[in-house]
Structure 1
């Protein structure tokens, strides 16, 4: 269960990064909505990460949890950049994204 919580926390990390990017692109009331989304997503992400390292019979070690959380956020941030902010897709960019995904999966496999 803690791994599911941690994955959701990573998805909310992607959400707060995306909201931050959109808040910088917009003005007025729309910008305030994006800032609100940023704050809410940030809180949810941090709370869920805390729960994944401290809840239940098998908490995830902090080093592993942090690496997985940031990995999910980094991959999600790259994908949000591509699909939401029209950033370029290059071979090397995708190569390193897949390397990061492999590292996150490897951490899950070797963690108790």
Structure 2
């Protein structure tokens, strides 16, 4: 169950990061709600995951999911570069996260 909490924490981190981007573009109440709720829920799930999983693994996986998710959202919805090198390094992050899961 801790791994599910950790995946949800990472997913809501992506929501929070998307909210940050929305706040930069549109400083309205909806943008701030997405920002704060995304991070509040993310930290909640992260704290649940860390009751079972080690801190180092939890933080690395959480930030990995958030990083990859943020980059993918940026490429799909905000016109960020889809250069092959970016995609290669996203793959490297994913391999590292899977490696951490396999070793814990």
Provide the TM-score with structure 1 as the length reference.
0.90
Report how many aligned residue pairs link the two structures: 104
The Cα shift of 1:60 comes to: 0.5
Match of 2:40 in 1: 43
Match of 1:99 in 2: 92
Alignment of 1:76 with 2:73, yes or no, is no
2: distance between equivalents of 1:83 and 1:5?
Answer: 25
Match of 1:26 in 2: 26
Give unmatched runs, 5+ long, in structure 1. none
Match of 1:8 in 2: 8
Provide the TM-score with structure 2 as the length reference.
0.97
The Cα shift of 1:83 comes to: 1.2
Residue 32 of structure 2 aligns to a residue in which SS?
helix
Larger radius of gyration: 1
The Cα shift of 1:48 comes to: 0.5
